[in-house]
Chains A and B, each alone.
Chain A
Amino acid sequence: MSVLTVNLKHLYQRRGLWLVYVIVVLFALAGIAVLFKGPEVGKGRFVGLIVLAFVVGLLFAVLPIEVLSKPFSYCLPGHRKMVRKFVFCVGIVFNIFGSLLFFVYPSLNAGQLILVICSAFFAGLISYLIGGALAFTARNSVAFIGFLPLIIVAGGFFDLHTVLERVIVENPLVIIPVGILSSCVVWVWLGDEGRARRYCNVPWAGFDAWNPAKMKKISRIRMAGKWDKLKKYTSPRVERFFLGRMNRYDYVSAGRYIWGALYAASVVLVLQWKGILSFVIILILMSSFLGYMGAGAIFVFFFMPAIIVMNMRLPVHSSMMISGGRRERFAGTITAVAVATVVISVLVAVMTALSMLLEIVIPEITFRGVNFIYHAISVKHLFIPLLITPFAFVVRLIFYRKPIYVISLLMFVIYLMTVTGIVWYKHLGAMINLISIIALLVLGWGTFLLVLRYVCMKRSLAGDG
C-alpha cells in the first residue's frame, strides 16, 4: 500500500469528516438541483460546485496538516512529500465531478464543450487550491467557513456568480493556462521539505475540536508560549474582592462555596475585560447591522446566551478537590447560573436600547434598487434569552464530556427556532402573551433545576479524564 493510499484512507476513517461530507453533499445536491431546475445561460447556476471547491480545499488540506503535526510522521518514509500528492488527488477528483456539470450547458458545440469543461475544471481547481493554501497559511483556517455564508450572500448580491460563469465559458483559453500555472506553483510550494519540519509536533486541533482533552492540551501549550501576554489578565484587586467575600462566611457555610464558585466561574470573564469589551463592541455593530434584517435580528437573542453558556466554567464537574460536597456544588452552580443570566439579560437589554437609539439616526438605504429600512429590536423579544439560557445549561450539563454534541444540538435548536420565528412570525406573535411567556419560563427553569439537582446528587461529578 502506497503512502498516498494510506493517507487517503483518512477520508473515511476520520469520523469528524462524516459531518463534513453530509454538509458538502447537501450543498452539492442543492447546486445540482438548481442547475437541473433550469439550465439557463448567464444566470450563474453552473458555478455552485466551483465555489464549493474552495470549502473542500480548506477542509481537506487539514488532513495532511494533522499528519504532519504528529511527531512520528516526520520520520516516516515518504510522508514529507505526501502532502501535495494528497491535496492534488482530492482536488482533481472533486473538480472532475464539478466540471462535468457543464455537460448540460446549452448551445455549445462539441469542441466548445470540451474547452468549457476543461475551463470549469481548472477554475474549480484554482478555487480548491486557494482554500487549501489558506489552510496551510492560517492557524484557524476552519474558522473561515463561518464567513462563507456572508461571502456567498455578498457575492450573490454583486452577481459574482454570473461573472464567474461568463469567465469560464467565454475565456477558456485564459482560465486553462492560468489553472495549469497556478497548479504548478502550488505543487512546488507544497513540496517544500521545510514544511514538514515547521509542522512537526505543532499543537494542531484539526477535526478534533470536540475532543476536550486534546483541546485543553493545545490550549496549555499555547498558553505556555504566551505568558507575557496573559499575565496582565491576573488582577490582585479581583482576587481580593472574591476572597474577601468568601472569608466573611464560616468554613462550613454555603456562602463561602457560593462566592468561591462565582470566583472560579466568572472571574475569567472579569479579568479578560478587554476581550469582553471587544465582544460588546462586536455585538453593538451586529445590532446595527441586524436592524436591517427585520425579524431575522432575533437570531442574536438565541445565539448570545448559547455562546456565554458554552464558555462558562460550571462548578458541577470538577476533580480539583476543595472541601465542598454535592450540596455545595449545587448551590454554587445555581448562583453562577443566576449571575450569568443577569449578565445575559443586561447585555440584550443594552443591545435593544442601542438599537432603539440607532433607529432614530440610521437612515434608510437604497442599494441596487432595494430599500433597506432599519428596525429596532423589539422589547417583546427580551424574554427569548431567558428561555434559551436554561435550555443551553441543561444541554451543557447532560453532555458535559461531549462539547460537539452541545454545539451541534444548540446550533440545531437555535437554527430551528430562528427559522420558525421568521416564517411564522405573525402566528407566533399572536400566540405569545404574558401567560404563555411565564409558562415557558417556569417550564424551562424548572427543567434546569431538576436536571441540575439530579446531576449534582446522583451522577458522577469527576472532571476531565
Chain B
Amino acid sequence: MNNKEPIVQMRKVRKSFGKIKALDDINLQIYPGRIIGLLGANGAGKSTLLRNIIGLYLQDEGECITFGSDAKKLGPKELAQIGYVHQEGELLDWMTVRQLISYVSAYYQSWNRELEEKYIEDFEISTKVLVGSLSPGQRQRVAILLAIGFEPELLILDEPAAALDPLARAQFLDLLLRIIQTENRTIIISSHILSDVEKVIDHAVIMKEGRILLDSSFDELRERFSQIRISALSKELPEELPFENVVHCKRSDGQAILTVKDCPREIIQEQAKSLDCWVEIETLPLEEIYKIVVS
C-alpha cells in the first residue's frame, strides 16, 4: 500500500442504535504512521467508530474501507495487521495467561516471541494464573500484550489505560512512546484521560454526540489555540483588550487570561505591543482545547 494512501477511509458513515445516533455523517481518513487521539465524552461515539473500522459493527449508511477492503469483508489477511484493545477487556477467563497468549499467538504469523517475553517482564504479568482471576488492571495489561505481540500495522486502543493504576499507566505510555519511536506504526487511541493522550498523539479527532467536531494535526491545533496572560505594569488593564478571536476571558486584579482561537502568534505579539503590560503567550493544554471545541 502506498504510504500516501489512507489505511482507513470513512465516508458519510451513519450508525444508530434505536433512536440514538451513535455515528452521524462521519468522514475520516487515517494515514499510515499517525498517532491519532480520538477524544470525546462517554457516549460520543468513539468506541462505535473504532468497532466500525474493524468490522465488528456495520454502518447503516456510508462506506468504511480498512486496508483497502470494505470493513464488513475484512478477512484474516487484513485483520492480521490490526491490533485492538477494547475497554471491556473481554478475554477467555478459563485459560491461564500463558495458554491465552499461546492461543492468540497461533493466529498470527508475525507473532514476536522476544517481544512477548519482554512485555511480560515489563508489565510484570504473571503467566501461570487464570485469566478470570486477574484484576481489571492486570487483564488490561494482558489485552495490550495480545494486541501488540504480533506488531500490527494499525493498533487500535479503545480506552486502554482506563483500568490501569497510575504506575501501570505511566509504563503503558512509555511503551507507546517506544513503539512510536521505533516503528512507523499507525495508532488510534481513544481516551478521556487527555493529559495521557497529549504526550503521545500527533493528530486529534474530537467527537461529540456521534459527530466529528474537529479533525486536525496536533501541532496545527496547538497553533490555532493560544493562551495570553496579561499583567498590568503600572495602572489598571484597559477595558478593551486589542486581541481578536477571543473565545474566553478571565480578568481579576490587574490581570487577565485570554484564550484566542485562529490568531497567529506574530499578530498577538504585534497587538500586545500597544499595551503597557507584561504579556506572556502560552500553548493551550489539550484539555483546554477540548473544552473549547466541545462547548
Contacts and interface: CB of A to CB of B under 8 A. Distances in A.
A90 interface: no
B38 interface: no
A320 B93 contact: no
Contact of A220 (B51, B86, B132): B132
Interface in A313-348: 318-328
Nearest to B87: A465
B133 A264 contact: no
A224 B136 CA distance: 12
Interface in A386-424: none
A267 B55 CA distance: 27
Nearest to A457: B72
Interface in A70-114: none
A463 B103 contact: no
Contacts of B88: 319, 463-465
A325 B58 contact: no
A21 interface: no
Given A252-B75, A319-B56, A461-B56, A239 B102 contact: yes
Nearest to B130: A230
B130 A327 contact: no
Interface in B1-58: 51, 54-58
B94 A233 contact: yes
Interface string B89-100: 011111110010
B248 interface: no
Given A247-B106, A461-B56, A328 B75 contact: yes
B234 interface: no
Contact of B76 (A224, A257, A271): A257
Interface in B134-174: 134-135, 146-147
Given A239-B99, A243-B103, A459-B58, A224 B132 contact: yes
A138 B58 CA distance: 45
B79 interface: yes
A257 B94 CA distance: 19
A319 B91 CA distance: 8
Contacts of A322: 79, 104, 107
A243 B90 CA distance: 21
B86 A465 contact: yes
Nearest to B82: A321
Contacts of B199: none
A377 interface: no
Contacts, number: 124
Interface residues of B, number: 45
A219 interface: yes
Contact of A219 (B72, B77, B83, B93): B93
B129 interface: yes
Interface in A240-278: 243, 246-247, 251-252, 256-257, 260, 263-264, 267-268, 271
Contacts of B82: 321
A251 B80 contact: yes
A321 B54 CA distance: 9
Interface in B225-275: none
B84 interface: yes
A260 B103 CA distance: 8
A397 to B, nearest CB: 16
Nearest to B51: A462
B93 A263 contact: no
A324 B79 contact: yes
A227 interface: yes
Given A252-B75, A460-B56, A230 B107 contact: no
B109 interface: yes
B102 A243 contact: yes
Given A321-B83, A323-B79, A234 B99 contact: yes
A252 B90 contact: no
Contacts of B93: 219-220, 223
A427 interface: no
A458 interface: yes
B108 to A, nearest CB: 6
A231 interface: yes
B73 interface: yes
Interface string A220-237: 100110010011011000
B90 A465 contact: yes
B127 to A, nearest CB: 12
A360 to B, nearest CB: 41
Given A223-B133, A234-B130, A326-B72, A319 B86 contact: yes
B151 to A, nearest CB: 13
B94 A256 contact: no
Contacts of B125: none
A159 to B, nearest CB: 48
Contact of A463 (B90, B96, B134, B135): B90
Interface of B: 51, 54-58, 72-80, 82-84, 86-88, 90-96, 99, 102-104, 106-109, 128-130, 132-135, 146-147
12 contacts: A230-B132, A234-B95, A256-B106, A260-B103, A319-B90, A321-B146, A322-B107, A324-B76, A325-B74, A325-B75, A457-B72, A461-B55
Given A325-B75, A458-B58, A462-B57, 8 more contacts: A223-B130, A264-B92, A321-B54, A321-B84, A323-B79, A323-B107, A323-B108, A462-B56
**Which 7 A/B pairs are nearest by Cβ-Cβ distance?**
A465-B88, A321-B84, A223-B132, A224-B133, A323-B79, A323-B80, A252-B76
